[in-house]
Structures are given as C-alpha cells and as structure tokens.
C-alpha cells in the first residue's frame, strides 16, 4: 500500500509501547462470543509486533455505553476470548487512561499483550477531546490502527491518536484498504455491484455513488421493490418505500447518464406470509398478485445476475438478494454467491463483499472464504461504498 504508512515503515519496536486500536465489538450471547472473526483478523498484527519485542497495548470499544463503566459493556470477558483465540496470555487493565492503565503498562515485559477497558467508558473518547487523547497517548510511543471497521468514527482512539503519535496501519487495515482499492478505488473493469437489503432509504448515498463508478448495478432485496414500483410495476404487498419513488427515478437517471446498467428483478418468489417454509411461487415480475409479497428474486433473475458476474472482472457486493434468513427465500443469494465464489476461485473475478448482513449471507452460502476479500466492517464499509473519506483512514495517509 503505497498511500499509507504500514508496519513495513515502523522501524524497530523492541521495548516500545505500541498502542494498537482493534475492533473487538464482537457479538456476544449469554456471556459468550458467538463470532470470533474480528478477533482472528487482528492476530497477525499482534503476533508481528509482539514477535519483534513490542509491548502491545490493545485499545477497543464495546457496544455503545451511555453512562460510564458498566459490567454489560466491559471488555474483560473479551480479553479472555481474545487470549483463547490468539493462544497466548492477554492481560487486562480496568481503565484505558490514568493510574490503572499506567500501572498495568509499567508491569509489561517486551512481547506482552495487554487489553485496556472499553474506551467508550469515557465520554471524551467519542468527542475526540484533545485532553483525553493526551491521556491515551501517555501510555504509548507508537500508534497502530488495525480497526478499519471503526475507521468511520472520528474518535480519540481511532483518529485523535494518529495525530499525536507516529501512526501506522496494521496488517488487517492494510489488507482491507488494499482490497477496497481493488474493488472501487482502481478496479479492473468491468465492475459490477450487487446491492440488496431491505431499504433504499438507508442506501441512497451508496447507490448514487455506485452508479457513477460501476458498469452495472444489480439491485435486489426489498429495496428492488421501490425501484420496480417507481417504474410502474405492481409489487403487491411487498416491502416498498413508495415515498422514495422520486429518489429511485433519480438514481436510474444518474445511472443512464453515467453508462451504468441497472439490473432489476425479472421474476420474483412470492408468498402470502413472511415466515420460514411459507407456500411460495415464482412469477414474472409483471404478475405479482395483489396480496403477494416478493421475498426473493426468481431463477431468471439469478441467471441474469450470474451472466453479469461472468462479464465482470470486479464484483462489489453489499446486501442479500432476498430474505435469506428464512428458507426457501435464501436460494437466489446462495446461488449468486456460489457463482461469484467459483469465478473467483478460477481466477476470473476479484470479489469484495462487506456489511453486516452480507457476511452472514456469504457464511450461510458457505463461500465467505472463497471471495477475494470479505470485510468485517458494517458502517465503515457502507461509508466507503458511499465514497466518503473515513477519518481513521485519512490520518494514516502519507
């Protein structure tokens, strides 16, 4: 990555205190971490720094605590989970600034790994207050950011610190930026984007940006209904934001002006109720019954999506094509995901996917490992797709 300072530029770290911002905002149920992907992703940076004799101090947030420290939002259980995943001891300090933090750092030996308590237990973190950043910086000689998924936040631990200390991108941040550059920054053409999910309203900026950058935009999921309705297609009882018809039309006009093909469903799998195993039929998109709901795209549409994937050199994917969480409405998403994975494996496609539901959908299809890159970022991935500068990334630029 020519544009960013990385661990290749960091120099000797032996004996140095390296503050590493990581994303440990992992899903937890009944006190157990249910998905360790984010923890696995930070392992290479920690191993590299520790192996070179650095004192590795991890900074992270957990949830969105409002009123200072609470057990519910403590990172202490996550320190244990991190230690298990990394297969090495990970110490814990019950505050990220002040005496408790300083004492724990003072007791570290070269190569040790320590996690500080939730940075968001201090309101000043999210306000990016300089005096708080100074307190964080007091425990470090060098700053490394390995949390792309929190880089859309201009907080003290994601942005402020990079201005205070010599700052570098960690290996996961580097891989992420590299993949995103291949996806939309400087992609091999043609570029096809698949965007799905429930609502247009949450993705207007993203769609507006994409139509200017990609050669074809496949729209699936509930949001496709808003486009279909705007075009005059009857979508029955389907999820649809009728009030956004004007926005949808505007996006289609922008696409036409930029030479971006818009690919809308040609057929749909419709049901009368939204539940697993509900009776369903596939109909042409012009024949949706008045009391029917479109819950997935049909086979004809899948064929057309797969044809676009065949034509593409680069694929960017955010959001499922149907209600993939319930069967049988996962079929189109699974089929297209498998097709993209196969093309990627054949070396014919660069495939980059991200966003919360997308990762779950690709895992459900069993192909997340076969994509070129799957981002664990939710909001940060969307903001990147919207073409917005991410504060935590901007400060790492040379």
Closest distance to Mg ion from the beta carbon of 377 (Å): 9
Is residue 199 annotated as part of the catalytic site, yes or no?
yes
When binding is defined by CB under 6 A, the residue of 130, 190, 378, 387 that contacts ligand 3PG is 378
Task: State which residue, 78 or 293, has the beta carbon closest to ligand 3PG.
Answer: 78
Say whether residue 63 binds Mg ion (CB under 5 A): no
Q: Residue 167, SS3?
A: strand
358 binds, among Mg ion, ligand 3PG, none (CB under 5 to 8 A by kind): none
Nearer to ligand 3PG (CB atom), residue 105 or residue 359: 359
Among 164, 199, 338, 388, which one carries the catalytic annotation? 199
CA dist., res. 44 & res. 65, Å (int): 29
254: which 2 tokens? Answer: 């922008």
Using DSSP's 3-state secondary structure scheme, residue 103 falls into: helix
Under rule CB under 6 A, residue 25 binds ligand 3PG: yes
Q: What distance in Å separates the CA atoms of residue 178 and residue 169, rounded to the nearest whole number?
A: 11
Ranges within 362-381 binding Mg ion (CB under 5 A)? 378-379
Residues 152 to 171 in contact with Mg ion, rule: CB under 5 A: none
- Whether the upstream peptide bond of residue 178 has omega within 30° of 0, thus cis, is no
Binding partner of 206, given Mg ion, ligand 3PG, none, CB within 5-8 angstroms per partner class: none
The question of whether 189 is a catalytic residue gets the answer: no
Among 12, 32, 64, 67, binds ligand 3PG (CB under 6 A): 64
Least CB distance from residue 38 to ligand 3PG, whole Å? 8
- At closest approach, how far in Å is the CB of 64 from Mg ion? 9
Applying CB under 6 A, which of residues 10, 16, 23, 95 lies at the interface with ligand 3PG?
Answer: 23
Residues touching ligand 3PG: how many (CB under 6 A)? 8
Site for ligand 3PG, residues 117 to 176, rule: CB under 6 A: 149-150, 153
* Nearest Cα residue to 220 out of 278, 285, 272: 285
- The CA distances from residue 14 to 55, 111, 177, 380, in Å, are 8, 8, 27, 32
| Residue 150 binds which of ligand 3PG, Mg ion, none (CB < 5-8 A, kind-dependent) | ligand 3PG
Long-range interactions of 243-251: CB distance < 8 A, separation 24+ = 244/200, 244/201, 244/204, 247/200, 247/204, 248/200, 251/204, 251/207, 251/208, 251/211, 251/227
> Mapping DSSP to helix (H, G, I), strand (E, B) and coil, where does residue 395 land?
coil
Residue number, 69 or 379, with CB nearest to Mg ion:
379
Residue closer to Mg ion by CB (options 111, 379) is 379
Considering 63, 356, 378, 387, which one is annotated as catalytic? Answer: 356
Contacts of 180 (CB under 8 A, 6+ apart): 352, 375, 384
| 58 near ligand 3PG (CB under 6 A) | no
Output 23 or 215, the one with its CB closest to ligand 3PG: 23
Strand partners, 268: 283, 297
CA 50/CA 47 separation, integer angstroms:
5
Provide, rounded to whole angstroms, the least separation between the CB of residue 206 and ligand 3PG: 16
DSSP 349: -
Closest to Mg ion by CB, 140 or 355: 355
Among 21, 38, 153, 213, the one annotated catalytic: 38
Nearer to ligand 3PG, 112 or 126 (CB): 126
Exactly one of 91, 166, 379, 387 binds ligand 3PG (CB under 6 A); which one?
Answer: 379
User: 94: closest CA among 103, 107, 85, 82?
Assistant: 103
Question: According to the binding rule CB under 6 A, does residue 235 interact with ligand 3PG?
Answer: no
Per residue in 255-265, is it b (16+ CB within 10 Å) or e — as a string? beeeebebbbb
What separation in angstroms does the CA of 294 have from each of 38, 243, 267, 357? 34, 19, 9, 19
Residue 296, strand partner residues: 269
Sheet holding 17-21, edge to edge: 91-93, 113-116, 55-59, 17-21, 142-145, 167-169
Give me the residues that bind Mg ion (CB under 5 A), please.
378-379
Give me the residues that bind ligand 3PG (CB under 6 A), please.
23, 25, 64, 149-150, 153, 378-379
Enzyme catalytic residues? 38, 199, 356, 379
């Amino acid at each position: 990555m020519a544009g960013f300072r990385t661990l290749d530029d960091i120099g000797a770290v032996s004996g140095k205190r390296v503050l590493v911002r990581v994303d440990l905002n992992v899903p937890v149920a009944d006190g157990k971490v249910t998905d360790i992907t984010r923890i696995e992703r930070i392992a290479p940076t920690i191993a590299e720094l520790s192996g070179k004799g650095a004192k590795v101090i991890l900074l992270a947030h957990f949830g969105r605590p409002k009123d200072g420290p609470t057990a519910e939002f403590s990172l202490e259980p996550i320190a244990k989970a991190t230690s298990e995943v990394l297969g090495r001891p990970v110490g814990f300090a019950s505050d990220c600034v002040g005496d408790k933090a300083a004492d724990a750092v003072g007791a570290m030996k070269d190569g040790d790994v320590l996690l500080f308590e939730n940075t968001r237990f201090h309101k000043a973190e999210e306000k990016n207050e300089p005096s708080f950043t100074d307190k964080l910086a007091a425990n470090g000689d060098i700053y490394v950011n390995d949390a792309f998924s929190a880089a859309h936040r201009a907080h003290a631990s994601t942005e402020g610190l990079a201005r205070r200390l010599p700052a570098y991108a960690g290996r996961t941040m580097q891989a992420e930026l590299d993949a995103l550059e291949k996806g939309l920054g400087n992609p091999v053409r043609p570029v096809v984007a698949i965007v799905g999910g429930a609502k247009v309203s949450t993705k207007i900026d993203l769609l507006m940006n994409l139509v200017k950058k990609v050669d074809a935009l496949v729209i699936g999921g509930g949001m496709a209904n808003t486009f279909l309705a705007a075009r005059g297609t009857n979508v029955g009882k389907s999820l649809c934001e009728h009030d956004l018809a004007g926005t949808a039309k505007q996006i289609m006009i922008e696409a036409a002006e930029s030479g971006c093909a818009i690919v809308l469903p040609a057929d749909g799998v419709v049901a009368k109720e939204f539940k697993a195993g509900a009776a369903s039929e596939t109909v042409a998109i012009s024949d949706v019954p008045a009391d029917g709901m479109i819950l997935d795209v049909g086979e004809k549409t899948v064929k057309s999506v797969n044809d676009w994937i065949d034509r593409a050199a680069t694929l960017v994917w955010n959001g499922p094509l149907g209600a993939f969480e319930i069967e049988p409405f996962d079929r189109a998403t699974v089929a297209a995901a498998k097709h993209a994975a196969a093309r990627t494996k054949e070396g014919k496609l660069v495939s980059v996917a991200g966003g919360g539901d997308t990762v779950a959908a690709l895992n459900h299809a069993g192909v997340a490992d076969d994509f070129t890159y799957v981002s664990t970022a939710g909001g940060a991935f969307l903001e990147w797709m919207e073409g917005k500068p991410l504060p935590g990334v901007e400060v790492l630029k040379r």
